Amino acid sequence: MRAANRAALVAAVRRHGPITRSALSEWTGLSKGAVSSLVAELLRDGVLYEEDAAAGGRNRALHLNRALGVALGIELGTSECRGIATDVAMNPVRRSLQPVTSVTVEASIGLIAAMARQLLEGETRPCLGLAVALPALTDAEGQRVVFSEGLGWSDVPLAGRLSDILGVPVRVTNRPRAGAMGEHWYGAGVGVDDMVYVSVSDGIAAGAFIEGRPLIGATGYGGEFGHTTVLLDGPPCVCGNRGCLETVASLPAIRQAIRQRVRVGADTSLREPIAYRDIIAAVRDGDALALGEVRRASEYLGVGVANLINLFNPSLVIIGGYLAEAGEMVIHSIRKAAQRRAFPVSYRHVQIQRNALSLDSACVGACALVVNGYIAGLEPALCGSPWG
């Protein structure tokens, strides 16, 4: 029981900190005496620290001890690799962004390892671990990439390979699931128990929280939103189906549509090679072709979001990934299409909005996984909790 109560205090400090002892008593339901005794233990063990005594009496706020170490979160895509180092309170320490020139397993391992070392340069605190978010199906233990269409990988023991190179604990996770975790714990979804995060970049996928817990699926492969059908006889998809949402609303689909229009004489400021960031910049600059194709893709996304609303009845749908960087026009188009097609009583109670963490959603979620694992190691009673 004492271990469970310690874990409850740590979870409360993580979620609501900095927080006073009185507030901890209210959040956990523990008596003030029990909180005081447990906090004394956690301070002694170095899990928590409190503000300097000069800050004022017994109402000094408690924090997770940032000296515990730093967490690394790296998101690998088909065109970019981005990473963040954070302390245990999820404050960013440094960031890195590198182009992806090859998606082979060996090249990717080299890139991730080099980025991890770069993120740790000059850091005196220990590294608590690394979590890598990928556009891939991963195993339940977070050790293997089971399959990735975009990367062309199958059954890759990525976590073990990286751990051997870096000498720190490593786990792998599905990119939209990491994005959902980042937004749920530290972004637009804080305090929202039923939410769906939709990531639109080189692919389309979703991560969901139901009653405050991440939706994983029976075999861990839930969230392949981009492979839901929106056009019965639509374009062929790499998955073997036709008319998948990815074929009409992902960034590659938007880029291909722009190229086709340019070939028949459409006017645009975009020039080859067209990167995703170029499309977003063109939308912001008012390029008519880019605006039109992004708006069309957003309407298809709205159809898909309506299906998510009808299936899961969330109170919040968060749109992230590169497409969200195009701004409110994307969100407005998604809302309009979703409103036309969603069950009215469900749409009435849902908000659709852009993510709060911008392109960092998946990296922040990955760092949170590392910190969760480390804290659960200190407080085993947190294991099995969405905060453990």
Q: What is the pLDDT of residues 23-45, one digit of tens each?
A: 999 988 999 999 999 999 999 98
Over range 314-322, report the average pLDDT. Answer: 97
Closest CA to 171 of 69, 71, 66, 67: 71
Residue 320: strand pairing partners? 199
Pairwise CA distance, residues 180 & 341, whole Å: 24
Q: Is the pLDDT of residue 80 over 70?
A: yes
CA pair distance 76, 151, nearest whole angstrom: 9
What does the block give as tokens for 178? 């990491």
Report the CATH architecture of 2-64.
Answer: Orthogonal Bundle (1.10)
Name the DSSP class of 195: E
Q: 319 near 331, Cβ under 8 Å?
A: yes
What does the domain layout of the chain look like in residue ranges?
A: 2-64, 69-179+361-382, 189-356
Q: Which residue has the higher pLDDT, 294 or 150?
A: 294
SS3 string of 197-246? EEEECCCEEEEEEECCEECCCCCCCCCCHHHCECCCCCCECCCCCECECH
Decide: helix, strand or coil at residue 59: helix
Which segments within 248-339 are labelled E, that is strand?
A: 316-320
pLDDT of residue 133: 98
Res 342 pLDDT > 70? yes
Q: What is the pLDDT of residue 382?
A: 59
Q: Average pLDDT, stretch 190-207? A: 95
Task: Report whether pLDDT(52) > 80.
Answer: no
Mean pLDDT of the chain: 92
In the prediction, which pLDDT does 386 show?
47
The residues that bridge with 48 in the sheet, in sequence order, are 64
* Per-residue confidence band for 57, with pLDDT thresholds at 50, 70 and 90: low
Three-state DSSP class for residue 50: strand
Class of domain 189-356 (CATH, top level): alpha beta
The CA-based dihedral angle spanning residues 355, 151, 148, 211, taken in that order and rounded to the nearest 10 degrees? -10
Rounded to whole angstroms, how far apart are CA atoms 226 and 248? Answer: 10
Residues near 252 by beta carbon (within 8 Å), at least 6 away in sequence: 202, 246
- Higher per-residue confidence, 50 vs 333: 333
Is it the case that residue 55 has pLDDT exceeding 60?
no
Q: How far apart are the first and last CA of the chain?
A: 17
pLDDT, tens digit, 9 for 90 and up, residues 88-125: 988 999 999 999 999 999 999 999 999 999 999 999 99
Q: Residue 387: which pLDDT band, with cuts at 50, 70 and 90?
A: very low
| Reported confidence tier of residue 51, pLDDT bands at 50, 70, 90 | confident
Superfamily of domain 69-179+361-382: ATPase, nucleotide binding domain (3.30.420.40)
Tens digits of residue pLDDT in 348-378: 999 999 999 999 999 999 999 999 888 878 7
**CA–CA dist 64, 50 (Å, integer):** 9
Query: In 3-state terms, what secondary structure has residue 320?
Result: strand
pLDDT tens digits for range 219-274: 878 889 999 999 999 999 988 999 999 999 999 999 999 999 999 999 999 999 99
Per cent of the chain over pLDDT 70 is 96
pLDDT at 388: 42
